């Protein structure tokens, strides 16, 4: 296969775009997709301060590097979850990456905050992935708001978005279907959230990360075995292989036709938000779920005689 | 013989009479849009031919949590 731009031997084939690119031209394609996402969705400008959530995986690190190369004012935020043998490896990848590319980095440690993820697994009788996700979203938003960032950017790609949309559709979850998208505007104590990689597949971010020499943390989380999103991604991967372009079409059609309808519905039944009595983060209850979980874990530890 | 190092599984597989990347992927039951394939530091598309003694790195791209 030849590169569609320069006719050299291609190294990345993209059936969904009926094209292939060489190692020099593929990053240009990637950059164009990110630029298009930012421009069309009005995500942010060069005057705004952007906090980028960094997990150490290919998507977040690729996003951070790409935004820096495009001249944006970016700061990384890594949450050290305190999971033995896993978190230290992820953190090292992030720190080494930011040091190599001279990028600003903030690290928030769950253990120092008093609630490492192993404690949640041990003391909370709920799926650890959903509570961990809740904790991360809470701290990403809190730190973005407290430190005056204009926008929080995450490395969610097209596959992440399609897997989430598919899961929400399976449950016809109107609340989630009303606001899923590449941009969630700021409101009620929430900073604006954006996903500049939403036009790019996981395959495309993996190729970009490889070509840019990004060392990634690819070990799966030891607590995440059998996550349903991974199964949905595998299923969509097969569909995309047989019908290239299906994933993007499914997501784009939802944004145009499905989301507005669900947003109208949610306006009628949506809940009102107030600042949490403990931490000030927006919540529909008096005390937010993060503060409640933290208090419940502390109580369980006291009861068990370990705190 | 072609040697395939599968990531992130950390598995090593040896294949005989395999002449192309797509043949390797078919044998492994993997889709070309769900893995990256690397030989000597170079990314390969599925239509690339292989030669005896080649060592490939095949990395699945789907994040697993």
The residue among B31, B64, B6, B2 whose CA lies nearest residue A13 is B31
The mean per-residue pLDDT over the stretch B16-38 comes to: 96
**What are the CA-CA distances from residue A244 to residues A14, A250, A251, B50 (Å)?**
9, 12, 14, 26
* Contact criterion met (CB < 8 Å) for A241 and B34: yes
DSSP letters, chain B, are -EEEEEETTTEEEEESS--BHHHHHHHHT--TTSEEEEETTEE--TT-B--TT-EEEEEE-----
pLDDT of residue A31: 98
Nearest CA in chain B to A221: B65
Residues comprising chain B, all counted: 65
So what's the pLDDT on residue A217? Answer: 82
Record the pTM.
Answer: 0.93
What's the pLDDT at B63? 77
Up-side HSE of residue A170: CA atoms within 13 Å toward CB? 8
In the numeric block, the tokens 């059609």 are attached to: A253
| pLDDT tens-place string over residues A235-261 | 999 999 999 999 999 999 999 999 999
pLDDT value of position A34: 98
Complex ipTM: 0.96
Nearest C-alpha in B relative to A22: B43
The pair of three-digit structure tokens given for residue A143, joined into one six-digit string:
């730190």
Using an 8 Å Cβ cutoff, are A82 and A113 in contact?
A: no
CA distance A38 to A20: 24
Write down the pLDDT at residue A126. Answer: 87
Question: Distance between CA A272 and CA A255 in Å, rounded?
Answer: 24
Query: Distance between CA atoms of A307 and A283, rounded to whole angstroms?
Result: 28
Residues of chain A short of pLDDT 70, as ranges, are: 225-228, 269-270
Residue B22 pLDDT exceeds 70: yes
CB of B64 within 8 Å of any CB in chain A? Answer: yes
Residue B65 has pLDDT above 60, yes or no: no
Comparing alpha-carbon positions, the chain A residue that sits nearest to B36 is A207
Let me know: does B33 contact A205? Beta carbons within 8 Å.
Answer: no
Residue of A24, A210, A229 to mutate, testing the B interface (most B Cβ within 10 Å of its Cβ): A210
List residues in chain A touching B: CB distance below 8 A.
Answer: 1, 10-13, 15, 20, 23, 57-59, 129, 159-160, 201-203, 205-207, 210-211, 218-221, 223-225, 227, 229-230, 233-234, 237-238, 240-241, 244
Q: What are the chain B neighbours of A56 within 8 Å (beta carbons)?
A: none
Q: Residues 6 or more apart from A260 whose CB is under 8 A from it?
A: none
pLDDT number for residue A271 = 74
Q: What is the pLDDT of residue B20?
A: 97
Query: What residues of chain B, 27 to 46, have a C-beta less than 8 Å from chain A?
Result: 31-34, 36, 38, 42-46
Task: Name chain A contacts of B20, Cβ cutoff 8 Å.
Answer: none
Tens digit of pLDDT for each residue in A104-118? Answer: 999 999 999 989 999
Contact residues, chain B, for A117 at CB < 8 Å? none
CB atoms within 10 A of CB A99: 10
Q: Measured between alpha carbons, how far is A277 from A279 in angstroms, rounded to an integer?
A: 6
B62 touches chain A (CB under 8 A): yes
Contact B43 A237 (CB under 8 A): no
């Amino acid at each position: 296969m030849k590169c569609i731009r320069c006719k050299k031997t291609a190294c990345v084939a993209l059936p969904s775009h009926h094209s292939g690119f060489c190692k020099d031209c593929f990053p240009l394609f990637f950059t164009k997709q990110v630029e298009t996402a930012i421009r069309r969705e009005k995500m942010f400008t060069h005057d705004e301060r952007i906090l980028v959530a960094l997990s150490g995986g290919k998507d977040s690190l690729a996003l951070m590097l790409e935004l820096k190369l495009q001249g944006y004012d970016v700061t990384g935020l890594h949450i050290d979850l305190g999971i033995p043998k896993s978190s230290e490896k992820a953190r090292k990848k992030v720190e080494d990456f930011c040091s190599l590319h001279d990028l600003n980095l903030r690290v928030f440690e769950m253990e120092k905050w008093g609630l490492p993820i192993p404690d949640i697994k041990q003391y909370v009788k709920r799926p650890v992935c959903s509570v961990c996700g809740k904790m991360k979203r809470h701290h990403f938003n809190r730190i973005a708001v407290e430190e005056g960032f204009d926008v929080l950017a995450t490395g969610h790609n097209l596959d992440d978005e399609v897997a989430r949309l598919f899961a929400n559709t399976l449950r016809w979850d109107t609340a989630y279907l009303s606001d899923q998208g590449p941009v969630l505007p700021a409101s009620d104590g929430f900073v604006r959230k954006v996903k500049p990689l939403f036009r790019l597949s996981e395959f495309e971010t993996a190729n970009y990360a490889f070509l840019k020499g990004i060392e990634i943390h690819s070990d799966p989380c030891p607590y995440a075995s059998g996550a349903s999103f991974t199964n949905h991604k595998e299923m969509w991967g097969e569909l995309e292989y047989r019908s290239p372009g299906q994933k993007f079409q499914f997501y784009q059609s939802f944004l145009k036709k499905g989301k507005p309808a669900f947003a109208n519905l949610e306006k009628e039944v949506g809940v009102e938000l107030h600042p949490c009595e403990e931490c000030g983060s927006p919540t529909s209850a008096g005390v937010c779920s993060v503060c409640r979980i933290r208090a419940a874990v502390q109580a369980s530890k006291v009861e068990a005689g370990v705190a | 013989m072609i040697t395939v190092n599968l990531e992130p599984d950390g598995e090593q597989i040896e294949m005989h009479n395999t002449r192309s990347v797509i043949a390797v992927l078919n044998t492994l039951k993997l889709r070309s849009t769900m893995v990256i394939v690397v030989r000597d530091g170079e990314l390969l598309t599925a239509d690339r031919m292989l030669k005896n003694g080649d060592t490939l790195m095949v990395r699945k791209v789907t994040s697993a949590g």
